[in-house]
Amino acid sequence: MSDAVLKRDEIESKYKWAIEDIYESDELFLEDCNKLEKLSKEIEELEGTFGKGSEYLLKVFEKKEEINRVAEKVVMYANMKFHEDTSVSKYQGYAGKAQAVCAMADNSMSFIEPEILEMEESIIYGYLEENSKLKKYETYIKRLYDEKSHMLSKSEEAIIAKTMEISSAASDIYDVFSYSDIKFSDIHDENGEPVSLTTGRYGNFLKSSNRNVRKEAFISMYSEYKKYINTFAAMFLGNCKRAKFYADIRKYNNSLEYSLLSKRIPIAVYDNIIDVVNENIDKLHRYVSLRKKALGLDELHMYDIYVPMVEDIDKRIDFEEAKEMVLKGLAPMGEEYIENLKQGFNNRWIDVYENSGKRSGAYSWGPNGVHPYVLLNYQGQLSDVFTIAHEMGHALHSFYSDKTQDYIYAEYQIFVAEVASTCNEALLINYLLENCTDRKEKLYLINYFLECFKGTIYRQTMFAEFEKIVHEKIDGDEIVNVDDLNEIYLNLNKKYYGGDIISDDEISFEWARIPHFYNEFYVYQYATGFSAAIALSKRIMEMGDEGVRDYMKFLTGGSSKDPIELLKDAGVDMSSKEPARKALQLFGELLDEYEKIIAEDSI
């Protein structure tokens, strides 16, 4: 790995996403910002017209869709340009401008749902019968009436809409502070040479076979977070209080109810994953013990938890090779899926490499009517290959939903967002295991799959339990300070990982570097999504075309049905504990297989 992080303009264009597919120039973005302001004024003039007839309701719905389509493009373009290099003040400004005009648009449309709810249901449903163009909104209308008890008056909804622009302040500050302002001390690589530590590189340093590299990266990272831990606590707790505010305003009992029930997810789903993981916590302890033994360490530390347990395996994978691996791994999905995947690979849907100032991590995003985009920070590790499969799972989920559903139902709900992505990962790991003939490489792949379980079910559920504890305290008007956050997190880390690992003091600050905490009660869906994906991938591999057909019902479903029902159509019931239990049963079987191979080697 080179010491220097490349600048944006030093990366070949074929490895950058085609942002020009949204807008060919910044000027067109600015034009749409102005257009959004104009459309916002136009829809405001339609307030109070619903009683005049069905054509006025249709006019509002069509204008709302036009506004939302423009708003999607504006906000995504601005933020994606910002994420390319968060140090560029121009695009920081564009992101702020997009947020402002979208908040204005939201405010201009705030009368719609309260005005519908003020009318007799018989009148609205009568409109749907008499005007065939309104028929497609029937599911939306039904869901709206189901949520009537949580809606406010028109004037109150207008006030709530005006709060949107400022409500994301904690998250916005976190992004800028974490990705632009914090600088980490240089560390030394495997050759003892100074090398820059970035959030994008941190994960790879923790996988280094050189323990000094891992330890130095770990200490450097958390030493910096410790310096600013009070600032991070203020941001995080401010965001928790924001969630409480909206839960109270919307007449939910707490923040968890607001986050889940408003998305039509039963609370039991959240509790189930925490319960099942805690029932199977012994398997994670067993994994930690196996790791300690495999690494031959007297003391296992938190900076030892990511390095592969197999020695002398250094999988450096070129990006072009990685794409071929993904294509072969996802072949069970059929020719059509593969052709659409190639379309994404060949038409610059992906922003591949890390550059100076680029947002860390990975995601998929993109406006309806264009195509999905994927942000990566590709480093050439096996985990990066799985990230490609994962994010392209998101992208093709969006692609199929946008292609199949009316705009109003095209966006799938967050609960199912991680299913398609993780199903891709499960198919890929099964392909690699089936085609592996080298003993060490097979151990390496099993280790990787074990890591998926550890990182996606166990770790994300630990995050979910942390969130639940903290939000319950905030919802209960308890005073929570930075020491409380550190203590809660450290105690959970000890419970989850057990006594065969030292929960270093630095790990108590880890909560401060988890960006998903600013989208509260999101992370549990990685665990539930992983559980569903294991079940779905098994159906696809065992049932072939029939399994794919069932899965495509889900993949094309958007939000046309509630998330639990969509997954039932695909063959998985996430309202029960069984998918999570079966997934963790597989985790135990993988531990057995790993130990069996190790035992055979010692004979």
What is the set of active-site residues?
Answer: 391
Residue 86 tokens, joined: 């968060």
CB-based contacts of 231, cutoff 8 Å, min separation 6? 177
Q: Give the Cα separation of 7 and 356 in Å (integer).
A: 5
Kindly state the tokens that stand for 108.
């201009």
592: Cβ contacts below 8 Å, ≥ 6 apart: none
- 305 is written with which tokens? 């938890």
| Residue where the block lists tokens 């360490």 | 297
Of 410, 427, 446, whose CA–CA distance to 329 is shortest? 427
Are the beta carbons of 454 and 497 closer than 8 angstroms? no
H or E segment and range at residue 188: strand 187-188
Per-residue burial over 450-486, b if 16 or more Cβ lie within 10 Å, else e, is bbbbbebbbbbbbbbbbbbbbbebbbeeeebebebbb
- First-residue to last-residue Cα distance in the chain: 38
b/e per residue 151-186 (b: at least 16 CB within 10 A): bbebeebbebbebbbebbebbbbbbeebbeebebee
Distance separating alpha carbons of residues 416 and 528, to the nearest angstrom = 9
CA atoms within 13 A on the CB side of 534: 22
Radius of gyration over alpha carbons of the chain, in Å?
25
Per residue, the 3-state secondary structure of 376-406, as one string, reads CCCCCCHHHHHHHHHHHHHHHHHHHHHHHCC
Extract long-range pairs of 450-453: CB within 8 Å, 24+ residues apart: 450/287, 450/587, 450/590, 450/591, 450/594, 451/306, 452/386, 452/425, 452/530, 453/530, 453/583, 453/584, 453/586, 453/587, 453/590
Spatial distance between the Cα atoms of 179 and 183, rounded to a whole number of angstroms: 9
* Chain centre distance of CA 96: 22
Q: How far apart are CA 203 and CA 129, in angstroms?
A: 56
C-alpha span between 378 and 345 (Å, rounded): 14
CA distance 590 to 587: 5
Secondary element (H or E) of residue 69:
helix 54-84
At residue 309, φ and ψ (nearest 5 deg) are -80, -10
Burial bucket for residue 568 (CB in 10 Å: 0-12, 13-18, 19+): middle
Q: State the helix-helix crossing angle for 482-497 and 281-295, rounded to 10 degrees.
A: 80
Query: Amino acid letter at 102?
Result: C
**Cα dihedral value 221, 226, 228, 234, nearest 10:** 120
